[in-house]
């Protein structure tokens, strides 16, 4: 098979890229291949599926804010993404607040909509919230910080990942794009820009070019091969000597659902959905997402040191991890959760760029790589798709959905220029 543009991976970054590439190149044959049976069945479906524009880094804000605008636009056009602006709520100790005070001021200056809450307000608004642990020996052993301040970011919330990825699929198909599911890319085919027909090409004195992909269903040749395979990217890029600057790390989400939690779906003052915002506790970045449509609570946690960087074939959630790591924190701050056990849970992988946490969009002849989104691929997907399309077209700048312009090379490896995120709790 031959095509003009081949996109490997029908996750959120692959389909957003495919859509924008096809939109810019209506006369070209754009093909997506995906080893799974449908769109977003890899780590897209395993995501928390939340979004925020509350960042200090211009890079982060530009990518996320413009993508959020596009999500709103899609809903206005009738695509139901289950977009819910429930907000992000960081619960902070005074000490944590002091560390990010300047970052908060800068975000406000840059137009991020934020509201601060004092402890007493939080106690009133969030059912059963514990903010002080004096005399609680366990809490002291665990080093649980008190809650002194709440920071709510408004232009944030959650959506249904499956709905978003299916929307991009539909948009792409409507333009005449092709998708082949259950086709697995085995390796990239590397040749020379000017082939001489010698064995062993490309030799070191030849300019290399990615010519296509060997799949389990045969060879597909393409002018441009877009690798958007998330946590699996190393398997394709490392053999040709392209470092994806990304490592896979397990993520786990635990779902709780119980009559007792219904008060979290009747919370006044934070958002029009009357649900607890996406809430980050002041310990271990433990987060809760009150899913407003399912009325369940998703819980997860960032385990940095202690959790291996590795790619598992079939990652499984670990109930022990919920019981020994997450639950002890959760039930201290929110005793509502006492004795509750997950009704559902799953595990996937993050594709982590440990260097600066920003996504990567890089190219060599015949190849574009988009990935390493480090847990924020969904919230940045539309901007990244547009940047891929701009890179393919050879433009130095991409125009994002909100009209802002983004320097394509800023996300490259070789000419990278990203701002370190300072709003880190």
Binding residues for a second copy, per CB under 8 A?
141-144, 190, 194, 196, 198, 200, 202-208, 238-243, 245, 247, 249, 283-284, 286, 301, 303-310, 320-321, 324-326, 328-329, 352, 354-355, 364, 413, 416
Q: Residue 233: name the closest of 347, 314, 350 by CA.
A: 350
How buried is residue 167: exposed, middle or buried, by Cβ count under 10 Å (0-12/13-18/19+)? buried
Our CB check for a second copy shows the closer of 37 and 141 to be: 141
| Closest CB 329 distance from a second copy, rounded Å | 5
| Closest CB 408 distance from a second copy, rounded Å | 17
Our CB check for a second copy shows the closer of 78 and 143 to be: 143
Our CB check for a second copy shows the closer of 200 and 218 to be: 200
Q: Residue 278: name the closest of 110, 66, 53 by CA.
A: 53
Please report which residue ranges of 258-359 form alpha helices under DSSP H.
Answer: 319-321, 327-333
Our CB check for a second copy shows the closer of 116 and 198 to be: 198
Our CB check for a second copy shows the closer of 308 and 396 to be: 308
Q: Is 376 within 8 Å of 352 (Cβ atoms)?
A: no
Q: Is 25 within 8 Å of 4 (Cβ atoms)?
A: yes
| Closest CB 374 distance from a second copy, rounded Å | 11
Q: Residue 334: name the closest of 89, 97, 53 by CA.
A: 89
Our CB check for a second copy shows the closer of 241 and 403 to be: 241
Q: Is 81 within 8 Å of 49 (Cβ atoms)?
A: no
What is the H or E stretch that residue 245 is in?
Answer: none
| Closest CB 351 distance from a second copy, rounded Å | 12
| Closest CB 90 distance from a second copy, rounded Å | 17
Q: Residue 349: name the closest of 321, 372, 368, 332 by CA.
A: 372
| Closest CB 372 distance from a second copy, rounded Å | 11
Q: Which residues contact 188 (CB under 8 A, 6 or more apart)?
A: 210, 212, 213, 214, 225, 227, 236, 237, 239, 240, 367
Our CB check for a second copy shows the closer of 233 and 271 to be: 233
CA end-to-end span of the chain:
49
Our CB check for a second copy shows the closer of 63 and 245 to be: 245
d(CA 375, CA 377): 6
Q: What torsion do the CA atoms of 167, 169, 172, 173 make, to the nearest 10 degrees?
A: -110
Q: What is the distance of C-alpha 410 from the center of its chain?
A: 19
- How many Cβ atoms sit within 10 Å of the Cβ of residue 300? 19
CB neighbour burial string for 403-419, b if at least 16 within 10 angstroms, e if fewer:
ebebbbbbbbbeebebb
| Closest CB 203 distance from a second copy, rounded Å | 5
Our CB check for a second copy shows the closer of 124 and 203 to be: 203
- DSSP state, residue 309: B
Q: What is the distance of C-alpha 409 from the center of its chain?
A: 21
Our CB check for a second copy shows the closer of 144 and 158 to be: 144
Our CB check for a second copy shows the closer of 133 and 172 to be: 133
d(CA 329, CA 333): 7
| Closest CB 245 distance from a second copy, rounded Å | 6
């Amino acid at each position: 098979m031959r095509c003009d543009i081949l996109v490997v991976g029908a996750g959120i970054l692959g389909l957003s890229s495919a859509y924008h590439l096809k939109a810019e190149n209506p006369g070209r044959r754009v093909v997506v291949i995906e080893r799974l049976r449908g769109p977003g069945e890899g780590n897209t479906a395993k995501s928390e599926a939340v979004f925020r524009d509350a960042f200090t880094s211009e890079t982060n804000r530009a990518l996320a804010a413009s993508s959020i605008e596009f999500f709103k636009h899609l809903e206005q056009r009738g695509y139901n993404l289950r977009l819910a602006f429930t907000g992000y709520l960081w619960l902070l100790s005074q000490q944590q607040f002091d560390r990010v005070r300047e970052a908060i001021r800068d975000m406000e200056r840059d137009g991020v909509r934020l509201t601060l809450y004092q402890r007493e307000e939080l106690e009133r608004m969030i059912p059963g919230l514990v903010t002080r642990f004096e005399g609680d020996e366990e809490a002291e052993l665990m080093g649980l910080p008190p809650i002194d301040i709440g920071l709510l970011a408004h232009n944030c919330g959650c959506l249904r990942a499956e709905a978003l990825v299916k929307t991009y699929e539909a948009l792409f198909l409507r333009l005449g794009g092709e998708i082949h599911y259950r086709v697995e890319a085995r390796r990239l085919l590397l040749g020379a820009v000017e082939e001489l027909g010698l064995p062993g090409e490309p030799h070191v004195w030849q300019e290399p070019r990615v010519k296509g992909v060997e799949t389990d269903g045969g060879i597909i040749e393409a002018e441009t091969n877009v690798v958007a395979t998330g946590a699996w990217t190393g398997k394709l890029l490392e053999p040709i000597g392209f470092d994806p600057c990304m490592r896979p790390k397990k993520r786990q989400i635990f779902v709780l659902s119980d009559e007792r939690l219904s008060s979290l779906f009747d919370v006044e003052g934070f958002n029009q959905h009357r649900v607890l915002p996406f809430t980050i506790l002041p310990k271990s970045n433990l987060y809760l997402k009150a899913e407003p449509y399912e009325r369940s609570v998703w819980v997860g946690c960032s385990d940095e040191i202690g959790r291996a960087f590795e790619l598992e074939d079939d990652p499984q959630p670990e109930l022990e991890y919920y019981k020994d790591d997450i639950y002890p924190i959760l039930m201290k701050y929110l005793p509502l959760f006492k004795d509750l056990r997950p009704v559902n849970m799953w595990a996937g992988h993050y594709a982590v760029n440990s260097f600066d946490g920003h996504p990567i969009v890089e190219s060599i002849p015949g190849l574009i790589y988009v990935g390493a989104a480090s847990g924020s691929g969904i919230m940045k997907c539309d901007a990244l798709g547009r940047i891929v399309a701009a890179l393919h077209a050879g433009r130095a700048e991409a125009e994002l959905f909100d009209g802002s312009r983004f320097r394509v090379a800023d996300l490259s490896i070789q000419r990278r220029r990203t701002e370190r995120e300072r709003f880190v709790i």
